[in-house]
Structure 1
Amino acid sequence: MSVDVYQLTIHYLEQDAEGQPRAHQREALISTNAQVCHLLEQLHLAYNGKPAKGYARFSDEKETTMQASVQSWLAQETDFLKLANLATDELIKQLVQHQLTESGYLLIAHYRYLATDYLLFALLGSKEHFSVTPELELASARHLDIARMQLAARIDLTEYQANPQHPHAISFIRGRAGRKVADFFLDFLGCEAGSDAKENSQQVLSSVEEYLTAGEFEPVEKHQVRQQVYQYCEEQSKQGQDVVLKELSEALDPSDQDGFMRYCAEQQLTVAEQFPVDVKSLKPLVKFSGAGAGVSLSFEQKHLGERVLYNPEQDTLTIRGIPPNLKDQLQRFLRGE
């Protein structure tokens, strides 16, 4: 993986005695070295791996504080530290307005991965780690908690500069709070909702199934196609890249690489030519799963009719070859252990 870090600063946000957020800001940028590049590499992977992201674009009706700040910085009218300070002030303002009690280390970075430039805003918490010294004494230190990153947004600068109105040039992690966090980021960045990754992914799911049915594929072929589609989309998501309809069509049916594209056009199916993907929405391509009344089940589609038998008339599932860990639990329970 190749991550080039151009500029980075870190501010610290905390709650004051009145419970209001305030920032301790650096007066200079952090020098770039191998350690900094490794940190941004981990942040990039962690951000790409977050399943629930929203997408947006700057409003074309009015120029907001953040939009003006980013454009001024890109035009080299202001430096990166001033952009970071303005962003921090705007972040605090929106935290107050949205009544979000967040604290931690605010990382603002300009970096490049492969051929794409990004501007990242990430608020990270910290956690304590313990170690043992050579003298067998306990020592502790605080570390950035990258894995639990929940408040972060990123601008694809390469996409934005090529097309300021691109519907997913801006992305953000929705987090567990869902709509509240989405509204916060839309106000913080001064942008409007763009592409809906979940909606686009669900459209792909239904379109692929229609294509398989119309093409009269054999059951084994259907399974292979679903696997290929899912693997392609999953890999794009891990890389932080959009799904491209032409590439998806090639992955779906190598023997007729434009077949899926033609089918979508002929049937007037609304599959976008390029879009961010929500991998979770595509799980039904490869797995059956469900939960209710204290029972949770999940199994790969390829096992239906073989290891897993479904009887719709009796509303039953018969499982052949119970997973070893589940079998062990059942046997121990029956033995009274």
Structure 2
Amino acid sequence: MPIINSIVHRIDKSSSDQPATLAAADEALSASPALDEMLASLKDSYHAKTKAWGYFADAATAHTLGAALARHLEGDTADEQTFVAFTRQAAESLKTLVDDHLPVGGHLLFAHTRQGDAEHLTLALLHHREGYAIDASLGVVPVRQLNLGQLTLAARVDLTQMQAGTSRQYVSYNKDRGGKKLAEGFRDWLGCEEGVDASSETRTLLKAFSDYVESEDLPEAQSREKTDALIDYANGQARSGEPITLDQLSELVDEQQPKAFYDYIRNQDYGLSPEIPPDKRTLQQFRRFTGRASGVSISFDSHLLGDSIEYDAQQDRLIIKKVPGQLRDQIKQRRE
């Protein structure tokens, strides 16, 4: 992940009743293995968080990050002094959000990186935690280190997609810490509009997949194999911060008919976008319930519980509202 430019500014806030102040850096960070490793760890931590996805609104005010970034991209983005000036302006405007919603400040990191053919801008307000280390004399000493697991404010912009103008989900930002008001304030500071609900889109995709498997009347082993392929691919995309691409997923689900699942989704009109940001929490909840006893074998996707399948706890029984076609035909034949 080559680093084009990176910098750290400091937003100081000693207490809730003291206004935040900015200690801005005058130059970008020098390249080093430590910087590379820190950014790689930050990337992993960020992609593990719950995020919203969207795009910069055309009507965003001049003080938003989106507007400032658009102006920055009109010039030489690789120029160090241009990058320093852009990030300093952004850090200055973020002080108000810190004042309104956070008890303390932190170190504000900006990193412009390249990964393959795509360029990204990552920003994060970093905090420290107290820890311990062993010194050269084998003694225990206190140390302060960056707490990359605590990302109060963090965002990532796909600069390549932003400039192409063909996507409504090139901005992602974390929203699982600090409450609703902080998340909304951060979104407004970014100048971002939510383009797609990752949780809802992921749930719809999983529902479409279950419907597809059911329509194909697949054997249990083959159904489980396809489910594993979907979950492995989706989790891999989530770890790398990349969207689920429907045509690529369709190829993985059925190598013999690589367009079958894609065509099924389009023909059934689920309203899914060609690219879906994966929601890790939703994916973690998608699994199969399986049980066998007294000659009865039952297996179904967990999200069907409470929908087409109900569990009566008092009677200890399952109620199947929609019987699979293959099973229904076998029962009818037996009764004739």
Which TM-score applies when normalising by structure 2? 0.81
TM-aligned CA deviation for residue 309 of structure 1: 8.3
Counterpart residue identity of residue 255, structure 2:
P
User: Runs of at least 4 residues of structure 1 off by over 4 A?
Assistant: 308-317
Instruction: Indicate if the aligned counterparts of 1:230 and 1:286 stay in contact, CA closer than 8 A.
Output: no
CA distance in 2, matches of 1:249, 1:123: 38
Specify the alignment match of 2:183 in structure 1.
182
Instruction: Indicate if the aligned counterparts of 1:227 and 1:286 stay in contact, CA closer than 8 A.
Output: no
Counterpart residue identity of residue 49, structure 1:
A
CA distance in 2, matches of 1:309, 1:123: 51
Asked whether 1:43 is paired with 2:80, we answer no
CA distance in 2, matches of 1:247, 1:108: 32
Instruction: Indicate if the aligned counterparts of 1:58 and 1:191 stay in contact, CA closer than 8 A.
Output: yes
Specify the alignment match of 1:31 in structure 2.
30
Which of 92, 97, 100 is the equivalent residue of 1:94? 97
1:55-106: CA deviation from partner (whole Å, max 9, x where unpaired):
121112345322332122212267011111111111112333x433342211
Specify the alignment match of 2:55 in structure 1.
57
Counterpart residue identity of residue 84, structure 2:
L
CA distance in 2, matches of 1:30, 1:214: 56
Superposed, 1:1-337 pairs within 5 Å as 3-16=1-14, 18-50=17-49, 52-65=50-63, 66-76=65-75, 79-96=82-99, 98-163=100-165, 166-287=167-288, 301=289, 303-305=290-292, 312=312, 315-316=315-316
Specify the alignment match of 1:322 in structure 2.
none
Instruction: Indicate if the aligned counterparts of 2:126 and 2:151 stay in contact, CA closer than 8 A.
Output: yes
CA distance in 1, matches of 2:25, 2:93: 16
CA distance in 2, matches of 1:137, 1:227: 49
Specify the alignment match of 2:326 in structure 1.
none
How much identity, in percent, do the aligned residues show?
24
Counterpart residue identity of residue 106, structure 2:
G
Secondary structure at 1:135's aligned position in 2? coil
Secondary structure at 1:142's aligned position in 2? strand
1:248-301: CA deviation from partner (whole Å, max 9, x where unpaired):
1112222211111111122222121112110221234325xxxxxxxxxxxxx3
Which TM-score applies when normalising by structure 1? 0.81
Runs of 5+ unmatched residues, structure 2: 299-310, 318-336
Q: Give the RMSD, CA atoms, in angstroms.
A: 2.4
TM-aligned CA deviation for residue 192 of structure 1: 1.5
Secondary structure at 2:168's aligned position in 1? coil
Runs of 5+ unmatched residues, structure 1: 288-300, 318-337
TM-aligned CA deviation for residue 19 of structure 1: 2.6
Instruction: Indicate if the aligned counterparts of 1:95 and 1:184 stay in contact, CA closer than 8 A.
Output: no
1:229-262: CA deviation from partner (whole Å, max 9, x where unpaired):
1111001111111100001111222221111111
Secondary structure at 1:254's aligned position in 2? coil
CA distance in 2, matches of 1:99, 1:150: 11
Going from structure 1 to structure 2, the CA distance change for 1:315 and 1:84 (only over 3 Å counts) comes to farther
Going from structure 1 to structure 2, the CA distance change for 1:304 and 1:30 (only over 3 Å counts) comes to same
Specify the alignment match of 1:320 in structure 2.
none
CA distance in 2, matches of 1:237, 1:142: 30
Counterpart residue identity of residue 203, structure 1:
T
CA distance in 1, matches of 2:137, 2:102: 44
TM-aligned CA deviation for residue 173 of structure 1: 0.7
Secondary structure at 1:255's aligned position in 2? coil
TM-aligned CA deviation for residue 316 of structure 1: 4.4
CA distance in 2, matches of 1:313, 1:53: 36
Instruction: Indicate if the aligned counterparts of 2:67 and 2:191 stay in contact, CA closer than 8 A.
Output: no
Going from structure 1 to structure 2, the CA distance change for 1:114 and 1:147 (only over 3 Å counts) comes to farther
Secondary structure at 2:266's aligned position in 1? helix
Secondary structure at 2:262's aligned position in 1? helix
CA distance in 2, matches of 1:314, 1:305: 20
CA distance in 2, matches of 1:243, 1:181: 28
TM-aligned CA deviation for residue 178 of structure 1: 4.7
1:292-321: CA deviation from partner (whole Å, max 9, x where unpaired):
xxxxxxxxx3x4337x9888575549xxxx
